[in-house]
Structure 1
């Protein structure tokens, strides 16, 4: 199943229609009506049993060594999209045990606040953590927890020689049998020296991106060069960072508080800036030809050309590009001050259908044809400008606009658990295409009409077993410039969130409540929110509360449970997501598990809302080509899920086998029956010698088991080999075989079938 980007969800929402008023199926109601009660019962039961607490909302105990294992956790639905994003970013950046604050350490998997405070107390007493193993040797955390964290942490000794230098260089490429040009490639490098200085960059060779568009007044449309191999260097930075002061120039991410006012980090509790050199690898194939007929009698993609798939390019996410400065610890008679200022001038890409022309459209919310996105014609080298041209389709257009952004944070800390702060930012977009008066469609995450921003205040208080976080914010935008001063759309709105985390004995319970106004159009808000969106923003038009528990019962059962109930005030339908997940360590080599999950986007009696795809082809992920995975179902609906898992670890940990079966029950508006999806996965990992790793996975997916002409039926297997030479140089090769088994027309005409994919990764560390 192709991995989607967050923008896929907003795009698909605009291409879906809602079916309401059809009674839920009786079988469905009988099966799942007890789900909320079950979740509540398990939460209460868990609180009464001594347990070892777990951090944040990681759905399972995270025990991985490589990024490939994180992808496996996501693809097999063991972790969510948000968890995947957080863990990938944590692993790529790394948490320095000698520099990280309480918020950064708490973002690590498998830790609770007690663990974090114990690490900080040990660091303060010892002065420096020479190696991660010191924490286990001193009894600060268990060896099992430390082993699960090693891929996410580092311990750079602040007393090392000033000239000490270390870093890494990584090269990746991929190939499939229908590729006809040079393969996609990426080269990344990062170097740390002078103890605190870090320099890095990431460059890519892409083949499936058009050139920068220009305006053609004779056509009243844009023209962009055809897809061809190009070199891109989207990420580069220089960072000087200490425990009291930091500055970064180049690409970075930054966030504060409960992430309500400003956050671009993917971290649960961010506080400051973080370097950004992330590149995302392709996980599926994409259509090689992306053109419509335009002025020509037929599309160049007619026939087999439109059904031929090749390797997708490596991708990146646009972040901030500029300068951020932070004074992290300005001592006062009582507590200390924290001051951050940041500015960004980022040239951004955008999905071609996410714009409109103010010269011909009065309001992007209109269904009038003139309010659609302008055409983008294809220009080819050596072709006359007057020759009939085809048009690009489903493309992300590069270098479309410059986003100018500035903001800051001011906080007073009483101690590391208690503070009050203020965060604010303002931004505007300057379009680079001269001629039209371009702007953002209403379903874009960025507000149309002009400048936007937000200002908010947050506080945190912690004593003993309790940690409380609160943030309130007010957004502002210029959308009334377009919609009119008397319009009820635009102008900004209010939002607030409160989160209470209780850690006592060895239990952790989180309670939170949130309210995001319909007018809170803040593209840089990243607080707790469900995946449904209102006009491109998740943290908008939503009010809800959730309860989450995590613990280890009787030193054998890993138990996690969550219930989230929310409503979109504009539509009034209550919604719910609840799950219970238990994994038992029967002995050292056997770990079975049972997971239950239920999601319903309309809890009103005799009412049902579902998402129906109208057949639009969104093969090319839009805005930013982010490559961020999201939930497999692709559409919010009434869904129940049962998952059974069996984990085996033998040969002193050198061989592990995980077998998982997942069955979904979906009240699909497209059919008058209970739709059922199934997925079976087997993952084998072996480490026969210390430097040599073998991994293999087989997944069989069958969506709608009663009819293989509607959705995907496929088998996906891969075989991965990696070897490390002298702890300095590593090589990884991977072969994927993907077989399409359903009988949809698009599948029967698909080229190639089956798919053969190869990937190579080389890395040198010094």
Structure 2
């Protein structure tokens, strides 16, 4: 939800005092809420427990398992993205840093420190099996982490790697299918490399400016190869360098982070890609004669996507001086970036952007095949390719006084260079990039730990060409041992804190295209497991509002969740979780909408999952989810949604895996003529043809269950979707 624009903050705001007054004001608004939350929190806190880094006990083997858990609501979007990147890059238990190890699900800071202490005692890189023998990890934990670890068993001078070929196709497609080729290689002497090549069919052609009509013009999509990701790296004991595409982050993710990891500490190769989602409308145009003919009707499989990180060179040097650990990272990037057409405006047409005025996005006209001039048809809701080039650079210096105590300084700057000649383009207020030209940030982070206590802090200033300077601060306190972990995060992000490369802890809404902006909040999280491993519980309370000082009082928002898993019986593992989201705790009850930018209603969700393992080769899982949310269509009650999942995993042979899945979703059980009413079923076959060669094929059937009579739009015809993946390992 886009929050209302506030006036300029009159001076700096003290984070601690503002948080105190904020909590007091939240209590006055709804006094019965806090005791209920505290009661729920106490009930979820047994004396013997073990923490987890994510909200659910995970059992995954590949990206398909991760995607299914995200669709089922088991994994949040942030956790899904983090684990997906870990699956693709891997973590080396024998050499990874403290921060990299903490990204693995199921490891607390205390367990990470125990692993590092064991590695230090051994004086050499340890194997995962050694960690199990020493009691640092359990065999069950290692089995769950195995897919997230780097490939093992290669000698120093050997070459290892993998090659993946992926494609997707729908029965209604009239185009060549999208194709993606991913390569990864690890060589001797610390050399590494990789890349991603795609074949696109839905990407617009080159964009130019029509000075007579003051519009943008783009060529119709066509089949073309792309190489969005490519890198070569060298990793040594004291230094490492990478040339190509990469992601990096530091500290508490406030000043700079594009990795998505919970505790970033440096750079990682950027090999990420996005698999095609649900079929989209074949026609990308609107206007007279835009979509005539059978070819333009129906739906088509989207292309593989690629999130844009940095592209250039980055390097890190580490050393010891008098017992003090020093690390220096520097980077430079020149990345070509795409942008949605609604994130742009033309300053020649709209010159006044003050006082909250919103400028209209420029039209993007299409050039018909065989013509040089555009017609009347225009593109709708499309991403414009290579709109601007971003020149960026910066660095980070870290001083480590002990393994758990260190100071860091991060600074970076960026300058957008518009690539559309003749146009005077700029970013809309709703875009995540600041208007007017260059932007950047400067911040300092600190970490300290002793015994069960870990303290983290980061403060940052953002800079932009409009001379606005915003301040942000984040403080985290983590208490725990190898049995439990409690985390309290306090955050303050000023209204003028405009940092597009900040991924700090924040609420789920946005302000002017950014999540970590115009926000004051606190988050409490407690994740644990009983000593014998039978019970596992997780809880979260997050409350935030707008900082004081604006002309409009801040709206207090609340998000809570709790989850209970039982794993005492390997054959029977139930899970139950509840979630609550309130966009305005001062207004409650039916009739208040929840979805929308001007809504302040509530959403309640309860879900249960039962996992059955009758034999070693067969696993069954069934899940049901019930959601009630405010809606204008239900002024005297709530809109009620339902969803159910049936999952069957069968291994008839060690080299063969069959995965069947059915997912039913019904938005608004009282009305079957609108919103989503669907049933999606799939069958996936994973066959290891040879030890170094595997194939994965997937068929999916999607049915639209909306009633044909009374519906605003007729139900979609059945969709038959196919996916194929081939993988070869060296």
TM-score, normalised with respect to structure 2: 0.91
Q: Which residue is 1:44 aligned to?
A: 42
* Displacement of 1:93: 0.9
Q: 1:244 to 1:89 in 2, by over 3 A?
A: same
Aligned mate of 2:101, from 71, 93, 105: 105
- Distance in 2 (CA, whole Å) between partners of 1:365 and 1:586 is 61
Instruction: Tell me if 1:422 matches 2:412.
Output: no
Aligned-partner SS, 1:151: helix
Aligned mate of 1:508, from 452, 461, 485: 485
- Distance in 2 (CA, whole Å) between partners of 1:606 and 1:637 is 7
Instruction: Tell me if 1:660 matches 2:623.
Output: yes
* Displacement of 1:655: 1.3
Contact 1:472 1:496 in 2 (8 A): yes
* Displacement of 1:747: 7.3
Instruction: Tell me if 1:314 matches 2:304.
Output: yes
Q: Which residue is 1:465 aligned to?
A: 452
- Distance in 1 (CA, whole Å) between partners of 2:555 and 2:483 is 37
Give a deviation string over 1:480-514, Cα, whole Å, max 9, x none: 6xxxxxxxxxx021100000111136111111100
Contact 2:333 2:391 in 1 (8 A): yes
Q: Which residue is 1:262 aligned to?
A: 256
- Distance in 1 (CA, whole Å) between partners of 2:40 and 2:234 is 47
Aligned mate of 2:328, from 333, 339, 342: 339
User: 1:58-207 counterparts in 2 under 5 A?
Assistant: 58-129=54-125, 131-154=127-150, 160-162=155-157, 164-207=158-201
Q: 1:747 to 1:372 in 2, by over 3 A?
A: same
User: 1:610-629 counterparts in 2 under 5 A?
Assistant: 610=593
In structure 2, the gaps of 5 or more residues are 6-29
Contact 1:474 1:494 in 2 (8 A): yes
Aligned mate of 1:518, from 470, 477, 495: 495
* Displacement of 1:204: 0.5
- Distance in 2 (CA, whole Å) between partners of 1:36 and 1:694 is 47
* Displacement of 1:529: 0.7
Contact 2:683 2:699 in 1 (8 A): yes
Q: 1:463 to 1:743 in 2, by over 3 A?
A: same
Q: Which residue is 2:364 aligned to?
A: 376
Aligned-partner SS, 1:318: coil
Q: Which residue is 1:28 aligned to?
A: none
Q: Which residue is 1:578 aligned to?
A: 560
* Displacement of 1:132: 2.4
Contact 1:129 1:157 in 2 (8 A): no
- Distance in 2 (CA, whole Å) between partners of 1:320 and 1:745 is 50
RCO higher in 1 or 2 (8 Å CA, sep ≥ 6)?
1
* Displacement of 1:304: 7.4
- Distance in 2 (CA, whole Å) between partners of 1:282 and 1:150 is 26
In structure 1, the gaps of 5 or more residues are 1-8, 15-31, 481-490, 615-633
Q: Which residue is 1:733 aligned to?
A: 697
Q: 1:286 to 1:751 in 2, by over 3 A?
A: farther
Aligned-partner SS, 2:60: coil
Give a deviation string over 1:63-109, Cα, whole Å, max 9, x none: 21111010011000011111111111111111122331000000100
* Displacement of 1:178: 1.7
Contact 1:98 1:155 in 2 (8 A): no
Q: Which residue is 1:625 aligned to?
A: none
* Displacement of 1:41: 2.6
User: 1:557-706 counterparts in 2 under 5 A?
Assistant: 557-569=535-547, 571-605=553-587, 610=593, 637-652=601-616, 654-672=617-635, 673-706=637-670
Q: How many residues align?
A: 699
Q: 1:743 to 1:459 in 2, by over 3 A?
A: same
Q: Which residue is 1:25 aligned to?
A: none
Aligned-partner SS, 2:271: coil
- Distance in 1 (CA, whole Å) between partners of 2:572 and 2:398 is 48
Q: Which residue is 2:234 aligned to?
A: 240
* Displacement of 1:384: 4.2
* Displacement of 1:47: 4.1
TM-score, normalised with respect to structure 1: 0.87
Q: 1:560 to 1:746 in 2, by over 3 A?
A: farther
Q: 1:449 to 1:764 in 2, by over 3 A?
A: same
Aligned mate of 2:722, from 744, 748, 758: 758
Contact 1:577 1:600 in 2 (8 A): yes
Q: 1:396 to 1:636 in 2, by over 3 A?
A: farther
TM-align CA RMSD: 2.5
Contact 2:592 2:599 in 1 (8 A): no
* Displacement of 1:670: 3.8
Contact 1:99 1:242 in 2 (8 A): no
Q: 1:222 to 1:151 in 2, by over 3 A?
A: same
